[in-house]
Amino acid sequence: MLLKELPRARVLMEHKHNHSRHHSYNGKNFIILPIIFCVLINLICYLMLAPSLSAFVSVGSLFFSDAQKDFSKDFNNIFVPVSEPSNTDSQAQQSAETIKISEITFPKYNEQFGELIIKDCQIDAKLFFGDGDIPLNNGVGIYGGSAIPGYGKTILVAGHNNTYFNGLKYAQVGQQIKIRTSYGNFVYEITDIQIKESTDTSAYDLSADSENLILYTCYPFDELGLTSKRCFVYAKPVSNLEIDKNN
Amino acid sequence: MKKIKRIFSTVALAAVVTVSASTSAFAAGINSAEQKILDTLNTTVTMNGVEKSIPAGYLNQAENYFNTVEITDEEADKIVSAIDDAKAYLESTGAANVGALTVDQANTVVSKVQAGLSVIGLTLQYTKSTGAVSIVDKSGNTVFSTTLAASGSSSAGGNTAGENPIKTTGLGFNVPGIAVIAGLGIVLVSATGLYVIKRASKSKSTYGTQA
């Protein structure tokens, strides 16, 4: 029994010896250095893990966001499809066609007024005016500070990357985008695809005086959470359909 | 009596038809009065020596709205006067941008803008906590919506106020399944953590007893 207790007593003695030796060190080594060490290690860990942590932080922000979200599926729909020409693909060769502005019912915020179709990307979504919660939860939405199709300005369309605009990952230059509205059917052709920061103002020009369509969604496409990058798909009009603003 | 009723019905029907017809005609594009307002909005304001302009997105929103209504010359003159008044006040504050205005100055600008908006029955709404600004019509329909940049407005550049037209399009908040899965994940991780801690403390106590 006594033999068994011997190693334990030795450990205790060593501990006591170390403890008395520690008293000889000054406080700087015990307080300041460990703090500096702790900060440095935490900093290194943060820098190493930051790329992986950001995904968790962004997912967490979905749960702890203070912004009020509207999950409503109730919205006004003014979209009444109009018949398409028999050969839509050859619209480019057709002469310019105008629609009198007086004959158009301008959409209000959160109203569905058309649909956006990209066959090659398996996208077929309701098109809304406005890009708040209701439009993006039920389809894709035109930014209220841009223009409606045919108006001769920039059309900026947003959609979620995991739902209605997930198919933009298949977008390629030359593919056609079809927008159907109650006042006419428009065809655009993809001219460029770019990945940019969401804050990059060079990604769009809202003061442009020629018709151009920009679709965008968060990038990477299948990433869960909120990302800082966006995939912008640029397109030019192919159909010669335009709104006559003077009549 | 029947004759009076018939006359009244005819007058009422005529009034409805006239109003309906004029409403659709009113929405026909931008008239000269509306163009006058757009031109005024398009002019610059000098804040702290730097010329600032209204973002193109705001002008487009105004144009989109004017396409749905008809504004008279008299209304336009009152609105232009209110805009000029607000611009003159902004210049007199000496602030570098809208975000740098004091609360009192911001309230004064809001009241001046509201004076112009009320001419056509619009109301300005501002939520300070989120920076959300919206203008609604008599029916409560939103006709303008934006979110002002944070104080200092570095992203506003040469604009009077900054807004990023690019929205958060990351996760569709309408996917409850994802929220449920993520919630289950959190519960699972927490449960695993608790189990590990419990097990560790149990083995420690066992070791302690043995010792």
Rounded-to-integer distance, Cα B48 and Cα A11, Å: 74
- Judged by a CB distance cut-off of 8 A, whether residue A156 touches chain B is yes
Q: Enter the DSSP assignment of A225.
A: S
Would you say the C-alpha torsion B63, B68, B73, B74 has a positive or negative sign? negative
Q: Find the domain containing A9 and state its range.
A: 2-64
- Token duo for residue B101: 């205005």
- Give tens-digit pLDDT for A15-26: 555 555 555 556
Dihedrals phi, psi of B95, to nearest 5 degrees: -70, 150
Whether residue A57 is found in the same domain as residue A95: no
Whether residue A36 is found in the same domain as residue A130: no
- Judged by a CB distance cut-off of 8 A, whether residue A102 touches chain B is yes
User: Would residue A81 count as lying in a domain?
Assistant: no
- Give tens-digit pLDDT for B33-89: 999 999 999 999 998 888 988 899 999 999 999 998 999 999 999 999 999 999 999
Q: Enter the DSSP assignment of B53.
A: B
Q: What ipTM score was computed for the predicted complex, to two decimals?
A: 0.70
Identify each DSSP E strand in chain A by its residue range. Answer: 97-100, 111-118, 123-129, 140-142, 154-158, 176-181, 184-197, 212-219, 229-237, 241-244
- Cβ distance A145 to B55 less than 8 Å, yes or no, reads yes
- Give tens-digit pLDDT for A3-12: 555 566 565 5
Q: How far is the CA of B32 from the CAs of B21, B52, B117, in angstroms?
A: 20, 25, 18
Cβ distance A132 to A141 under 8 Å?
A: yes
Cβ distance A115 to A179 under 8 Å?
A: yes
- Cβ distance A146 to B142 less than 8 Å, yes or no, reads no
| Residue A11: per-residue pLDDT | 58
pLDDT band at residue A33 under the 50/70/90 scheme: confident
Q: Nearest residue of A to residue B174 by CA position?
A: A137
pLDDT band at residue A216 under the 50/70/90 scheme: very high
Q: Residue A224: which of B60, B142, B171 has the nearest Cβ?
A: B171
Cβ distance B166 to A216 under 8 Å?
A: yes
Rounded-to-integer distance, Cα A191 and Cα A214, Å: 10
| Residue B133: per-residue pLDDT | 83
| Residue A160: per-residue pLDDT | 92
User: Would residue A60 count as lying in a domain?
Assistant: yes
Whether residue A123 is found in the same domain as residue A36: no
Whether residue A233 is found in the same domain as residue A128: yes
Cβ distance A145 to A133 under 8 Å?
A: no
Q: Residue A101: which of B28, B57, B144 has the nearest Cβ?
A: B28
Percentage, residues of chain A above pLDDT 90: 51
| Residue A92: per-residue pLDDT | 45
Residues of A in contact with B70 (CB under 8 A): none
Identify each DSSP E strand in chain B by its residue range. Answer: 45-47, 50-52, 123-127, 132-136, 142-147
| Residue A178: per-residue pLDDT | 97
Residue A230 belongs to domain with CATH number: 2.40.260.10
| Residue B170: per-residue pLDDT | 73
Q: Give how far A68 is from chain B: nearest CA, Å.
A: 10
| Residue B211: per-residue pLDDT | 46
Greater confidence, B38 or A43?
B38
Residue corresponding to tokens 């406080």: A27
Whether residue A127 is found in the same domain as residue A236: yes
Instruction: State the average pLDDT for chain B.
Output: 76
The count of CB pairs under 8 A between chains A and B is 133
Model confidence at A234: pLDDT above 50: yes
Whether residue A97 is found in the same domain as residue A208: yes
Percentage, residues of chain A above pLDDT 70: 73
Whether residue A60 is found in the same domain as residue A110: no
Q: Where are the domains of chain B?
A: 31-156, 168-211
Whether residue A36 is found in the same domain as residue A101: no
Instruction: State the average pLDDT for chain A.
Output: 82
- Give tens-digit pLDDT for A80-128: 998 876 444 444 444 568 999 988 999 999 999 999 999 999 999 999 9
Residues of A in contact with B57 (CB under 8 A): 143-146, 206
Whether residue A45 is found in the same domain as residue A158: no
Domain count, chain A: 2
- Give tens-digit pLDDT for A126-161: 999 999 889 999 999 999 999 999 999 999 999 999
Q: Which of A137, A134, A148 is nearest to A75 (CA)?
A: A134
| Residue A141: per-residue pLDDT | 96
Counting as low any pLDDT under 70, the low residues of chain B are 1-28, 128, 148-163, 171-182, 206-211
Q: Which of A184, A190, A189, A213 is nearest to A85 (CA)?
A: A184
Report for A30-34, A67-71, A193-197: range of highest mean pLDDT: A193-197
